[in-house]
């Protein structure tokens, strides 16, 4: 009888443990942006809630904080606890905060990439409308701008093509040649 009770308790504890892990993982995915891609609609402006770093931001969409991972670009790390702050990372983050401090943005999805990346963040390109930023009266295609100005590298994930890949590669080549941003400031940039 005593062994039966022990096995029942072990089963109950195992069930509780598995449930807690499932709730934690599900909660992490949704807080990272998962399950909210349906709120990112074309030609809709979204307020920027915060800038995580130069290639990740959080917008308010459908009443939810939605984390957007920007396609085709990678800025030096400043918030990854597994890595030290990288050369030109603080500058890239500061530029993102400056640009996104003016107002709402539009998010463009890429049908070639799907809605989410491996961490559950929504994938997108970010456009700052002309009326929202006096420094860019014709509007701003943020992803390409950051590469052109040397705040980011062109980033192709596992050789998977994306919509603006050719344009971003040209922008990076130009930035490297001119040694702007990280291409001039960081010694070991490849």
Catalytic residue list: 69, 77, 121
Containing H/E element for 142? helix 142-148
With contact defined as beta carbons under 8 Å apart, do 171 and 148 qualify? yes
d(CA 26, CA 85): 29
Residue 131, class by beta-carbon neighbours within 10 Å (0-12 exposed, 13-18 middle, 19+ buried)? exposed
Name every residue whose Cβ is closer than 8 Å to that of residue 103 and which is 6 or more positions away in sequence. 45, 47, 48, 128, 129, 132, 133
With contact defined as beta carbons under 8 Å apart, do 129 and 99 qualify? no
């Amino acid at each position: 009888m005593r062994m039966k009770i022990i096995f029942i308790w072990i089963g109950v504890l195992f069930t509780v443990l598995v449930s807690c892990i499932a709730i934690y993982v599900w909660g992490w995915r949704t807080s990272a942006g998962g399950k909210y891609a349906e709120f990112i609609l074309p030609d809709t402006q979204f307020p920027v809630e915060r800038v995580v770093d130069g290639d990740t931001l959080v917008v308010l969409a459908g009443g939810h904080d939605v984390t957007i991972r920007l396609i085709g670009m990678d800025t030096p790390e400043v918030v990854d606890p597994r890595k030290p702050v990288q050369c030109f990372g603080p500058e890239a983050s500061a530029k993102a905060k400056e640009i996104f401090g003016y107002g709402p943005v539009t998010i463009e999805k890429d049908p070639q990439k799907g809605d989410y990346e491996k961490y559950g963040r929504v994938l997108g390109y970010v456009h700052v409308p002309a009326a929202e930023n006096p420094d860019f009266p014709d509007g701003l295609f943020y992803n390409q701008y950051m590469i052109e100005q040397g705040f980011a590298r062109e980033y192709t994930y596992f050789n998977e093509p994306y919509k603006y890949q050719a344009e971003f590669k040209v922008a990076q080549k130009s930035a490297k040649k001119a040694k702007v941003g990280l291409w001039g400031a960081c010694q070991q940039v490849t």
